[in-house]
Structure 1
Amino acid sequence: MIPKRTGLVVWVNDLRAARNLERIGNIHFISKRLKYVVLYINERDLRKTISYLERLPFVTKVERSYRSEIVHMNFSQKA
């Protein structure tokens, strides 16, 4: 069974320290200009991981992705 995954946007002060987020989840993208990391984690560990990330000294803000809650994802047809 494949576990459900969810995305997090983690805003950071230091991009070198942001590379350490690899041990928490899968890094999908790192923005050097805006200093954020898109990170995918297991959905069952969401609350625990967010509280852990917010305590890290190089993290300024953590935002949850709401993409999984969007119902209509078919953009090829006109509504």
Structure 2
Amino acid sequence: MFTDRSGLIVWISDLKAATKQLDRYGSVHFISKKLHYAAMYVHAAKLEDTIKQLQKLPFVKKVERSYRNELPTEYNSNMPDKTQFYPM
């Protein structure tokens, strides 16, 4: 039901062109007018092709990939519990 998505940060020089054309390549999540970047999601299967297409656009300065999907989100504690040493 859900498709695998990957995040991209697209650094842009023209905000007006970006708002009109970036929707073709994926879903645009946020566009920063102050810092001139767009955060967007694309299909993970088409990630490399989409990055190459985005870099060819005249208003795109740089495209960065988000590594959030590759970071571990489940943490375990190897430290012993110190609460037993302190009396209540």
TM-score normalised to the size of structure 2?
A: 0.80
Amino acid at match of 1:18: A
Gaps of 5+ in 2: 80-88
How many percent of aligned residue pairs carry the same amino acid?
49
Shift, 1:3, TM fit: 1.4
Q: CA deviation at 1:48?
A: 0.2
Q: 1:34 to 1:66 in 2, by over 3 A?
A: same
Closer/same/farther in 2, CA of residues 5 and 13 from structure 1, 3 Å limit:
same
Q: Which consecutive aligned stretches of 4+ in structure 1 deviate over 2 angstroms post-superposition?
A: none
Q: Whose Rg is larger?
A: 2
Name the counterpart of 1:9.
9
Aligned residues: 76
Is 47-56 or 64-73 further displaced after alignment? 64-73
Structure 1: any 5+ residue segments left out of the alignment?
none
Q: Per the alignment, in what secondary structure is the counterpart of residue 45 of structure 2?
A: helix
Structure 2 distance, partners of 1:60, 1:42, is 21
Counterparts in 2 of 1:73 and 1:58: CA distance versus 1, 3 Å: farther
CA distance in 2, matches of 1:23, 1:72: 31
Q: What is the RMSD of the two structures over their aligned residues, measured on CA atoms? A: 1.6
Match of residue 41 from structure 1: 42
